[in-house]
Amino acid sequence: MVIMTSSMPFQPVLERIAEEIERMPGRGRPADYIPALAACDPRRFGMAVAELDGTVYGVGDWREPFSTQSLTKVFTLALDLAREGDELWEYVGREPSGNPFNSLVQLEYENGIPRNPFINAGALVVTDRLQTRTSDAAGELLTFLRSESGNPSLGFEQEVAASEAAHGDRNAALAHFMASYGNIVNPIPVLLDQYFRQCSVTASCADLALATTFLARHGVRADGTRLLTRSQAKQVNAVMLTCGTYDAAGDFAYRVGLPGKSGVGGGIIAVVPGRCTLCVWSPGLDERGNSVAGVAALDRFTTLTGLSVF
C-alpha cells in the first residue's frame, strides 16, 4: 500500500490506478436513453487531481471533454446557495431519496418538496430559483465553470441539449407536478431549456477538478474571493456525500469515503477538504447510473493515498 505524505506527488498514484483499471474486465454500459451519449466507448478512462494551488495531475483521457450531465448540479447548488442562503432548504431537502434520480413517487407524499438537490426534481427547483435571481441560470453556471477552470472555451453541446429535450417528458412531468404545489415559479419551457443546457456542458477531468477546488478550499474561489461561507461549503460537501451518487450513495461512501457527485455522462467529481479535488471519467455505467471504472478508481485512490473524510 502507498500512503501519501504532504509532499508526495499524485502522478505515480494515478498511473498505478490507470494500469489497474485497464485490466478491469467489465466497464458497464453508456447511458443509452440519451442518444447523444449512447455511442460513447465504455473503455475510455481519464482521471485528474487538482491541488489547492491549481496544480493538476492527470492520466488517460484526462483532457478529453465529455458531457458533464448531473455534475453541474453541484455548481448550480453552490451558486444559488451563495445568493439565498438557508432559505433554499425550505424548497428542497437534504435527505437521500432511496429512489431512482428521476422518480415522481416521493413528490406526491412530500407535497412537491424534492428530497435533495441532486435528484432531478431537486435540481429543477435549484435551477428555477437561480433563474429567478439571475435571469440566465445556465449562463451563470457556464461563466463560473470557465472562471474556476481557467478554460474560456467551455460551452454547451447543442446536440446533447436537443437530445435531452426530445426525451425530457419525465423532467417536464416533475416540473409541472412541483409547479402545482407552488415550488416552481418560472415558466416550465424556460426552466427546462435552462436545465437541459446546464446538463449539456462539456468539460474535461482537468477542467472539472479545477472547478471543484472551491469546495476543498472551504468556499474560496480560485481568485481568492469567497463564494460560500465555510459552513455552506460544508453543507454542499455533506449533501454530496449522502446524496451525490443517486441511490448508491451509501455504497459510494463505504467504498470511497469522499463527498462525490456522479453524472450519467460517466463523470464523477470528489472532494478531499483542505487537500485536493478529483474528477474521473469513464462512460460505462452500472445499473444505478454511476461510472463502473470511475467508482473503482476513486476507491483505489483513497485506499492507496489514505485520503478520506473518515
Active site residues: 70, 73, 195, 246, 264
**Which value, in Å, is the radius of gyration of the alpha carbons in the chain?**
18
Burial 63-82 (b: 16+ CB within 10 A, else e): eebbbbbbbbbbbbbbbbbb
Per the CB < 8 A criterion, the answer to whether 17 and 299 are in contact is: no
CA distance 307 to 234: 17
Work out the widest C-alpha separation in the chain, in whole angstroms. 55
Per the CB < 8 A criterion, the answer to whether 161 and 202 are in contact is: no
CA distance 207 to 64: 10
Q: Can you tell me whether residue 113 is helix, strand or coil? A: coil
Grid cell, residue 136, equals 440566465
Q: Can you tell me whether residue 96 is helix, strand or coil? A: coil
CA distance 216 to 188: 34
